[in-house]
Every structure is written in C-alpha cells, then in structure tokens.
Structure 1
C-alpha cells in the first residue's frame, strides 16, 4: 500500500466529495477545500440524470459500476439517491446506443413503442420517434447526495479558496488557501472551472473548453404523477434535437435544459450575455410544445459552467504530475462514485487506467 496517507481534494462538488469518500475508505486523512457552498457549482440543482446509455462502451461499464455504488451509498446513508422512475430516450441515438447496452448485458434497457411513452412520461405530448427506456436509470437526488457526503467528510471540509498548489523539495505538495498553508502527500484537483489554472501551476495543461449553460425548472400541473421518468430527446419532433430533463424529488417539478451551451472567452467571460437568456427562452418554448403537463413559467432557473473535453460531451480524463492528480470532464454527476474510486486509486500511486487522456474515455468508436 502506498504511504500517501494525507490527501487533499480541491473542490467539494460531487466528484470531489466522491473522491474524498473513496480516500477515507482507504484509510487516508482527507482535507477537502471548497471556496463556496459544497455542491453549489457545477453540481448545483435539485436533480441530475442517471443513465447507462453512452456512445463509448467503457462509459457504459463505468455507469454500471457507479450505479452499484449509488446503491451502496443508499444503504450506508439510509436515503434514496437515485429514483426508480427510469430514463426515456427519443430519437436516432436510440438505434445507436441500444445495441451497446444490449452487448453490455444486465442493463434493463429496452425499446418501447410510442404509445407506451405516456406510462413513463405522463407530462409529455404524443410523439412518433424511436424510443427506449432505461429502467435502472432515474433522477439523482443531488441535494441528498451532497449532504450525505459532506457529513462523511466532517471536519475535513475547509471553507477556503485555494490560490496555489506547489510541489516541495520534501516530496510533499503545498496548498495555500486564503487562511491556510498546509502540506499534503498528494492533491486531487476537482475544481470545475478553476481546475485549469491550478493544473498549470504544476505543469499540467488539460484541454478544457469552458462553456456556460442554463437549466430551468417547471412545476407539474395538478397532482404529481407516481412515475416521472427522466428524458433525453434527440428526436427533433418538437423543434429541438438536444433536450434533457429530470424530475425533482416528489415529482412536483421537472428540470429541463438544452444540451447546447454558450461560448465563454478569456477570463471566464460569457462572450454574448444575451445567449444564456436565449437558451432559457428556447427551453420554455420547448416545454410549451412538448411538455403540456408542465406550467411553462419556470419556478427556478439555474446557470452553471460546463468543462468539456474535445473528444466528447461525455469525455472525462485525469492528468498527473508532481504529486497532483487533475480531473476534468462533463456530465460527470452520474459517474461520480466510480470516478471517485478511480481517482483515489490514482492518488495512491496505482495509475490512471482508463482515465489516462490517451484513452479518450467517452469518445465513440
């Protein structure tokens, strides 16, 4: 076993907290640095989609591992973390991804006819499109997950902003935050939009494309349905070809976003400030056309950063050097449990495995 027993994690989003949990399982002393409210950055909001479907079979396998760990966490923390409402996917990707799921085996995904969609998505208009349901998918209870993992970290959570990460001649890594100077055996950087700047301090240059995104939440009309599946709509039937949605706890509202993002320039500035408002209005228009079971006036609007890698919207990778591991990618909430264990292994000197950037994890064949 490695002697890297004191590990710092920078960033208390879902990936950072999952990494801290995995490190604690290995017996490490863990410090998690977070400048804001844990889980309130890229991990913010009330729900995320857990899905098995990906273009890369390796991501399907990672999702399978993550789903098992989500269940372990539910048992350990005594709270539901992924709903059993399922995920409905519409459009051409169904025909491409369903064979990958079938080949993986053991995943309860199947094609459904158009007249069966209403049983999974009672708030949606009728649609004639290729459709499948991932019955083992569902809505991630993001707030409950963050809360449970923060409690797990306990006093190891430091509310401060990290300014510098610096390897020392003693073989440790120095972290300087606003009111803290500390030495650690290893540092894992999971800092979202702040990752690239910290990575450069140790000579690492992950090719992160910083973008911005908007997601709006709409109230369900009438009584909440007993089942309300997540949605991935690539059909174009309602004027948009990249829509995702997930119910909030209790199925009383539905968070809807377009997969499209807006350009961010140097210094982290949104190039066209009106572009986020335009995405928000397009999401509202989609709701009016496709989801009549929702009130089209949103009850909440969430803005967040997106950190994408060049080979895929689902891409993820890690880089290592000088006692530091840096991770970057997009659409990571569902994969956080397995990703956290992989990053903990990397921190203990066991290599990056499939997270090596050369693996291009998430890319289609």
Structure 2
C-alpha cells in the first residue's frame, strides 16, 4: 500500500475541491487531492453553468459577489475567459425584490429589461412582456476551462483514487485510506458531493443533506450562433414551467436547459428511476418548443448528476468542522467555488471559518 504525507488533503476534485486546493497551494501548503474519476466529472460536469448574483438571501448574494471578483482574478492569472461577458437574464415576479437586494452590493449592476433589449440579449426567447432583469456582471461560466486550468495548476497533487475512510490518529493527524494508499494529513477538507455525507457518517457526524438526481439537456441553436447570448433563469410560468435555468456553451452554438425539479432516490439511497429522468428531459424539451424557438427542440446532449440540498433552501450551503476535518455541502455551488476555496483554505491553515458558513447561519435560506 502506498503512503503519503502532506499538510492538507482535499477529497473531491470538483470545482470546490479544485478551488480549495488551489488556494492552499498559493498559501504555501502541501496538498493531496483525492478524486475517484476525472476532475470536474461529478456534480461539476457539463460545458457551462450560470453565474448569477440573484438570491433570496442577501448574505449569499454578497458571498457570490466576492466569488465573482475571484473569477476575474483567475481569468487574468490563467489568461482565459472563465465567465462570459453577456450577462444573466431573469424572468418572473421575483425580479423586483432581487434587484432591490443586488443594488446594495458594490460591483454588481442590475437593471430591468424592456422587450427590445431582452430580445437583443436573448434572441432565442419567444415574445415575453413580463418582469425581466439583467445582471450585467453575470454570465456563463466556462466550466471546462476552469477545471482544466485549476487541475493543471495542481499538477502531481491530484491523485486518482477512491477514498474509503477517514480516521483520526493518535498523533493528531487524519488518515485518509483509499483503494491503494494510506495518507496522513494535518487537515482534511471533504468536497465530495454525493460522497460527503457518507464520509462524515464514518466519523460520527450526520449531515442533513437531501440527495436527488437531475438532468440538464442540451439543444442546438437553429441558425448561426448569436454573437451575444445571456444565460436565463425563468420563474415566470409564462411558458409552462416556473423553474428553468439555461446557459450557452462557449461558442453559443448550443444551449443547456434544466428544470429546478429533480428526481428522489430510491429506498437504497443511491439508485433512481431512469424513467423519471426521461420525464424531466421531456419537460425540458417541451419548454424549449414554447419558450425558446431559436433552439431545435431535439436534444443533442444530456448531463445527469446527483444534487445535494440542505433543509433550509435550494441554495443552502454550509461547512461542518470536526477536529481536523471539514465537510462542505450545498447546491448550486459552482459560482461560489472561488470564495468557498478561500474560506476552506483559511479553515485548514488557521482554524478560522466565516460565521456565515457555519450550519447555524443557514446561509442561502429561502
């Protein structure tokens, strides 16, 4: 069995784990990142994510604004665009309240959209005359570019292996046992998506996560890709669904569409009904036929993934810390990853954690 010793272990090489490891290396720590599959291949999979500031919880909106600044820094450091400049469009009755929250934040520019500018920003959309807003500093996250650049920066710190157990040792370190190796570390940060709660359970910590499955469906743009294409959040119900999100791939030739709905797990806690996923994909295609006539409603791709949510809200996020091991859980974390990485690295290095990330704060509550 191979052995290794580094200052900090990060379990999971999704975007949050990669961001955490990157910040740790920048702070001078030695790091091992354990990942069973390809980096960014689990809950971080896909070609794009929405970057948006709009949240019901003003604290979360502020945290996301911190993250946006770091996305800009990363883009400069890596020499590549990581968030598109085309903005994030939101439709529906919550627009006014979201704008009131966001107008209190520095470096966030939001404003209402009339029908003409909405058409210019989102030429794929059917005619719509309800409440609409533009988050000018939102956009589509270039997910593959982000994962590729962060992984390259970490180099040999990435270890392809599945973590089986965590255990505290008599010397005060934490043992990480995988299929082929045993590592000892001064601190461990677990950002393992579906695997986070089971690893926490192994050390006697119960995380109140709810697990479900989700599908995002990709559709081709019918004509030449538009030069500018915003992301979309639609809670209007005007086109038959009250919870839809969508984002373009980097060349704007395809648009990924997902519903806020997800599929519960079966009694075994791990498997799901594939017919239920098919039903969600069909609903997404039906929405496209009505709402996005600029897309061909025949799917050209699917991303299936697990999601973990917390009891206080669909955007809830928290960090649990227990004697040298931290666990982060939540949903819609991609856009938050840079700021989460900074906070988790600080926790591993100094033992300090922002109060808003503690479970009692219920960050991201509805």
Q: Normalising by structure 2, report the TM-score.
A: 0.97
Q: Could you tell me whether the CA contact under 8 Å between 1:12 and 1:32 is conserved in 2? A: yes
Task: Give the secondary-structure state (helix, strand or coil) at the position aligned to 2:71.
Answer: helix
The ranges of structure 1 where at least 4 consecutive aligned residues each deviate by more than 4 angstroms after the TM superposition are: none
Matches within 5 A, 1:169-188: 169-188=170-189
Q: Could you tell me whether the CA contact under 8 Å between 1:318 and 1:352 is conserved in 2? A: no
The aligned residue for residue 228 of structure 2 is 227
* 1:108 positional shift: 1.0
Q: Could you tell me whether the CA contact under 8 Å between 1:343 and 1:352 is conserved in 2? A: no
CA distance in 1, matches of 2:106, 2:184: 45
The aligned residue for residue 48 of structure 2 is 47
Matches within 5 A, 1:329-344: 329-344=330-345
The aligned residue for residue 319 of structure 2 is 318
Alignment: residue pair count: 361
The aligned residue for residue 350 of structure 1 is 352
Q: Could you tell me whether the CA contact under 8 Å between 2:229 and 2:248 is conserved in 1? A: yes
Task: Give the secondary-structure state (helix, strand or coil) at the position aligned to 2:237.
Answer: coil
Task: Give the secondary-structure state (helix, strand or coil) at the position aligned to 1:185.
Answer: strand
Q: Could you tell me whether the CA contact under 8 Å between 1:9 and 1:188 is conserved in 2? A: yes
CA distance in 2, matches of 1:116, 1:8: 48
* 1:5 positional shift: 7.0
Q: Could you tell me whether the CA contact under 8 Å between 1:57 and 1:104 is conserved in 2? A: no
Task: Give the secondary-structure state (helix, strand or coil) at the position aligned to 1:265.
Answer: coil
* 1:115 positional shift: 2.9
CA distance in 1, matches of 2:135, 2:12: 31
Evaluate the alpha carbon distance shift between residue 28 and residue 267 of structure 1 in structure 2; reply closer, same or farther with a 3 A threshold: farther
Q: Could you tell me whether the CA contact under 8 Å between 1:82 and 1:138 is conserved in 2? A: yes
Match of 2:361 among 355, 359, 362: 359
List alignment gaps of at least 5 residues for structure 2.
none
Q: Could you tell me whether the CA contact under 8 Å between 1:5 and 1:27 is conserved in 2? A: no
Task: Give the secondary-structure state (helix, strand or coil) at the position aligned to 1:19.
Answer: helix
Matches within 5 A, 1:150-169: 150-169=151-170
After superposing the two structures, state which structure 1 stretch, 124-133 or 268-277, moved more: 268-277
CA distance in 1, matches of 2:339, 2:215: 27
Task: Give the secondary-structure state (helix, strand or coil) at the position aligned to 1:182.
Answer: strand
CA distance in 1, matches of 2:115, 2:270: 43
CA distance in 2, matches of 1:272, 1:254: 26
The aligned residue for residue 38 of structure 1 is 39
List alignment gaps of at least 5 residues for structure 1.
none
* 1:93 positional shift: 1.5
The aligned residue for residue 250 of structure 2 is 249
Q: Normalising by structure 1, report the TM-score.
A: 0.97
Q: Could you tell me whether the CA contact under 8 Å between 1:108 and 1:136 is conserved in 2? A: yes
**Could you list the per-position Cα deviations for residues 294-337 of structure 1 after superposition, in whole angstroms to 9, with x for gaps in the alignment?**
11111101110000001011110010112100000000000000
**Could you list the per-position Cα deviations for residues 138-175 of structure 1 after superposition, in whole angstroms to 9, with x for gaps in the alignment?**
00000000000001110000000000000111000000
Task: Give the secondary-structure state (helix, strand or coil) at the position aligned to 1:107.
Answer: coil
RMSD of equivalent CA atoms: 1.2
**Is 1:145 aligned to 2:152, yes or no?**
no
CA distance in 2, matches of 1:230, 1:254: 9
Evaluate the alpha carbon distance shift between residue 193 and residue 217 of structure 1 in structure 2; reply closer, same or farther with a 3 A threshold: same
CA distance in 2, matches of 1:52, 1:249: 20
The aligned residue for residue 240 of structure 2 is 239
Task: Give the secondary-structure state (helix, strand or coil) at the position aligned to 2:32.
Answer: strand
Task: Give the secondary-structure state (helix, strand or coil) at the position aligned to 1:32.
Answer: strand
* 1:200 positional shift: 1.0
Evaluate the alpha carbon distance shift between residue 300 and residue 132 of structure 1 in structure 2; reply closer, same or farther with a 3 A threshold: same
Matches within 5 A, 1:113-152: 113-152=114-153
